[in-house]
Structures are given as structure tokens and as C-alpha cells.
Amino acid sequence: MMTDRDGQAAQPVIVVSGLPRSGTSLMMRMLAAGGVPLLTDGQRTADEDNPHGYFEYEPVKALQRDSAWLPQARGKAIKIISQLLPTLPPDGPYRVLFMHRELGEVLASQRQMLARRGKPAAASGDAELATLFAAHLQQVQQWLAQQAYIATLDVSYNELLHTPQPLIAQINTFLGGGLDPVQMAQMIDRQLYRQRGAELRGG
């Protein structure tokens, strides 16, 4: 167990992670409603893709080069995309809520976001991208399992929308209890579930 200067157990950094468009913003919103303080800066404001906000913290993007700010996140939740998890300094402890979403839906949501912003979609077909994403997720999860200073809870975005109570109970237990499950459940906005059962497409 990690301890601070006074010999007390160090508060963990609560990390919300996963692929982009996998439900990380929803989880941040739920944690805030449940009573977890967040580390965000509001620089990326809400838009049509995330009308409730992104809950991001700009220094996260430079985590590999500069992690001096990370102690500010102890006892708080911060969003860190899966690609950056291996750059976390090995001084923990960390509690990682790793969001999973059907890859077809992730790709459809990413494609829609790019289209809204007038940006070209990836040249690779969805099937190829899904293979790459699946390999990345496997690699990251293997890495997480090997880190003694990181505890991980996998959370299905799809299950969270349809049967949230069991997952919210798991999250509450994982984070030590004391959260408000009713308020957390009320943050789930099913109207934003716009890529239901998206099929993978090649080409």
C-alpha cells in the first residue's frame, strides 16, 4: 500500500479510461453526481457530440513529458485515454475504470464526430480499424494487469445503459463505497445512445 509523507495511506487517483467515444465522459459525469471530485479544466466545452461536456484536463495530453501535476488528482477522478495509460508514473495508487463499448458503435460515433467537424474519416475500413482497436485494448489490459500499483474495473458502456444498477454497485464497491447510486443512475441519458448496434463495415 502506498503511503504519504505522514505515513497515511495515499488516496488513489481515480482514472476513467478507454477508447475515445467509449463512454468516458458519461462515467466522469456519473462519478461527479455520485460525490467524487473531478480534476478538469473546462477548456474543451460541450458540443453536439458531448452535450453534457467532455470533463477533460488539458495537461493529460502531455502526461508522458510532464506528470508533475498528477498529485493534484489524488482522491479525484481524471479522464485519461487508453493510449496514455502506460505513461502513468509508477507511484500510484490508481483505480482505473476502463470503459468498453461495442467497437462498431465506437467507430460509428468517431466517424460522426469527424463528419460534424468537416474532417476526413480514416482511410482504413471499419473492419481493419476494429482489428487495430481490439489489439490495442488487449495490449493495454495486459499491461494494466501487470502493474501492482493499479487496480482496474472493466465497465461495459452498453450494459451501463441497459442495466445500470449492478454496474453502479460494482463501481461503488471498487471505489470504497460512499457514492450516491441514485444520483449516478440519473446521469445516464439514453437519448444520446445514437449508434446502437452499428455494424462493422470494410472499405
Over residues 78-92, the pLDDT tens digits come to: 999 999 999 999 988
Distances (CA, A) of 108 to 30, 63, 201: 23, 28, 10
CATH code, 13-192: 3.40.50.300
What pLDDT does residue 51 have? Answer: 76
The pLDDT value recorded for residue 193 is: 56
User: What pLDDT does residue 2 have?
Assistant: 43
- What is the predicted pLDDT for the residue at 120? 55
Query: What are the C-alpha distances in Å from 169 to residues 20, 60, 183?
Result: 24, 28, 12
Within the chain, which residues score under 50 in pLDDT? 1-8, 195-203
Q: Where in the chain are the domains?
A: 13-192
Structure confidence at residue 5 (pLDDT):
42
Which of 96, 82, 88 minimizes the C-alpha distance to 135? 82
Rounded to two decimals, the pTM is 0.85
